[in-house]
A and B are shown apart, each in its own frame.
Chain A
Amino acid sequence: GAVVSQHPSRVICKSGTSVKIECRSLDFQATTMFWYRQFPKQSLMLMATSNEGSKATYEQGVEKDKFLINHASLTLSTLTVTSAHPEDSSFYICSARSPGQGNTEAFFGQGTRLTVV
């Protein structure tokens, strides 16, 4: 199957700093990628839809100025957590749909564990 890679897999940052997480589709082009957040022992919560060449679409309650998304190419989307605070500590997961018609299979990255101290 297709591969989606996230980097870094784990990051620790100081409160007030910004952190960038990359999501790459390694063997296919993805015009749309998705960013999820997962709290411990809880479900994945969709944060935003990343659209190549245009603005991301954020879900209700997600601060777009806090979580900056850039999808500059067909294989790369980045999520920047700006002015991070301890409450932003979480597991962030991206996914990309494989090319094709209809609801094609979503492939997930391995996730990024963010810890803000």
Chain B
Amino acid sequence: AQRVTQPEKLLSVFKGAPVELKCNYSYSGSPELFWYVQYSRQRLQLLLRHISRESIKGFTADLNKGETSFHLKKPFAQEEDSAMYYCALSGSGNTGKLIFGQGTTLQVKP
């Protein structure tokens, strides 16, 4: 079964501290993994995708197929990073469907 698991509902850190939002997935093929972010009172938007292998707003995420993980990391958190983060999976077959994790609220304290 396709599943995305984000074990932490809330992650609270101080400004400047490193951040790691965990994401594990279950999929029997070769999925594509994404991180979406939702800032307060805004719509969901794409943060990054594993095939791009890029850093957006200082965030990176590496797909680890052995551990079936796609953790999101940032070395130094900023207050403006406070938001809801969703890990999502899109399966093979190009259906375009996204399976979302439960979401993690990141709270960066001054």
Chain B 25-50: CB-based contact to A (< 8 A → 1; otherwise 0)? 00000001000000000011110010
**B43 CB to nearest A CB, Å:** 5
**Interface pair A103/B100, CB less than 8 Å apart:** no
Q: Which residue of B lies closest to A108 (CB)?
A: B44
The tally of residues in A whose CB lies under 8 Å from a CB in B reads: 23
- Of residues 27 to 54 in A, which have CB atoms within 8 Å of B's CB atoms? 32, 34, 36, 41-46, 49
Counting CB contacts under 8 A, is B94 at the interface? Answer: yes
The contact of A49 among B45, B90, B97, by CB within 8 Å, is B97
Contact residues of B with A, CB < 8 Å?
9, 32, 43-46, 49, 86, 90, 94-103
Q: Give the docked Cα–Cα distance between A26 and B102 (Å).
A: 29
**Interface pair B43/A43, CB less than 8 Å apart:** no
Contact residues of A with B, CB < 8 Å?
1, 32, 34, 36, 41-46, 49, 93, 95, 97, 102-103, 105-111
Given contacts A32-B96, A106-B96, A44 and B86 within 8 Å (CB-CB): yes
The contact of B97 among A41, A46, A105, by CB within 8 Å, is A46
9 tightest A-B contacts by CB? A108-B44, A44-B100, A43-B102, A110-B43, A43-B100, A103-B90, A97-B96, A103-B32, A108-B43
Q: Give the docked Cα–Cα distance between A95 and B100 (Å).
A: 13
Q: Give the docked Cα–Cα distance between A102 and B92 (Å).
A: 9
Q: Give the docked Cα–Cα distance between A97 and B90 (Å).
A: 12
A-side contacts of B102, CB under 8 Å: 42-43
**A71 CB to nearest B CB, Å:** 13
**A23 CB to nearest B CB, Å:** 12
